[in-house]
């Protein structure tokens, strides 16, 4: 039997679930609960834990030390959630920066740990966020499947010729209009 009824079920980072299923990535699938396990896994916390390990390993760097101070010793899940969520949709460094800066503005609104810039030439907050974004990107972009998908999606999109109609009669930018809509 086939049904057109909508089914609303909350998943664990659905984008990574779909990507892991498409490329048969067992490790990614396990991180987003596609593979049965004793207890549910939390990919956002796993990335936060990896981030904490890297910061501890780089403790001689004053920026790493300040992040650990702000995190009270361990990176919270909330700092990695949004960057991890956008990974399968081609999240950019700019988006990672924006989400991380938003998090920092809420966590350190008065600039007690990372001072707000007083001059245009030096901005400790921007430096701190750039540093953390590099570490988060390394943690979440490890799988080569993600790089393959991003590369192939970008390079093939302009040449693709989709078949069938699109909702509201629109055609995504960069795609040729199918004959049925001309």
Instruction: Give yes or no: residues 96 and 36 share one domain.
Output: no
Range of the domain at 68: 42-142
- Asked whether residue 172 is domain-assigned, the answer is no
pLDDT in tens, 116-141: 877 767 789 999 999 999 999 988 76
Instruction: Give 21's pLDDT tier (boundaries 50, 70, 90).
Output: confident
pTM, two decimal places: 0.71
Instruction: Give yes or no: residues 35 and 67 share one domain.
Output: no
pLDDT in tens, 59-91: 999 999 999 999 999 999 999 999 998 888 888
Instruction: Give yes or no: residues 67 and 23 share one domain.
Output: no
DSSP states along 54-120: HHHHTTTSHHHHHHHHHTTTS--HHHHHHHHHHGGGT--HHHHHHHHHHHHHHHSTT-SSSPPPSSS
**CATH code of 58's domain:** 1.10.150.20
Instruction: Give yes or no: residues 138 and 58 share one domain.
Output: yes
Instruction: Give yes or no: residues 66 and 23 share one domain.
Output: no
Instruction: Give yes or no: residues 37 and 114 share one domain.
Output: no
Per the structure block, which two tokens stand in for 21? Answer: 């299923």
- Spatial CB neighbours of 105, under 8 Å, sequence gap ≥ 6: none
Interhelix angle 43-57/124-140, nearest 10 degrees: 120
Q: What confidence score (pLDDT) does residue 144 get?
A: 41
Interhelix angle 124-140/62-70, nearest 10 degrees: 80
Instruction: Give yes or no: residues 87 and 130 share one domain.
Output: yes
Instruction: Give yes or no: residues 29 and 68 share one domain.
Output: no
- Asked whether residue 156 is domain-assigned, the answer is no
- Asked whether residue 48 is domain-assigned, the answer is yes
Instruction: Give yes or no: residues 104 and 72 share one domain.
Output: yes
| Strand, helix or coil for residue 125 | helix
- In the chain, the number of structural domains is 2
- B/e letters for 26-65, b = 16+ CB within 10 Å, e = fewer, are eebbebbbbeeeeeebbbbbbbbebbbebbeeeeeeebbe
């Amino acid at each position: 039997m086939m049904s057109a009824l909508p089914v609303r079920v909350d998943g664990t980072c659905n984008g990574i679930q779909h990507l892991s299923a498409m490329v048969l990535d067992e490790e990614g699938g396990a991180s987003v609960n596609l593979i049965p396990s004793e207890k549910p896994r939390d990919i956002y916390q796993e990335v936060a834990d990896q981030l904490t390990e890297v910061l501890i390993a780089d403790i001689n760097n004053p920026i790493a030390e300040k992040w650990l101070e702000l995190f009270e010793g361990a990176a919270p899940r909330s700092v990695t959630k949004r960057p991890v969520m956008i990974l399968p949709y081609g999240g950019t460094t700019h988006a990672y920066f924006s989400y991380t800066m938003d998090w920092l503005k809420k966590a350190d609104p008065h600039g007690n740990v990372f001072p707000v810039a007083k001059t245009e030439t030096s901005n400790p907050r921007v430096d701190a966020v750039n540093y953390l974004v590099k570490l988060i990107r390394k943690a979440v972009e490890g799988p080569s499947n993600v790089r393959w998908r991003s590369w192939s999606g970008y390079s093939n999109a302009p040449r693709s010729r989709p078949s069938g109609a699109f909702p509201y009669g629109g055609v995504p930018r960069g795609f040729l209009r199918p004959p049925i809509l001309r």
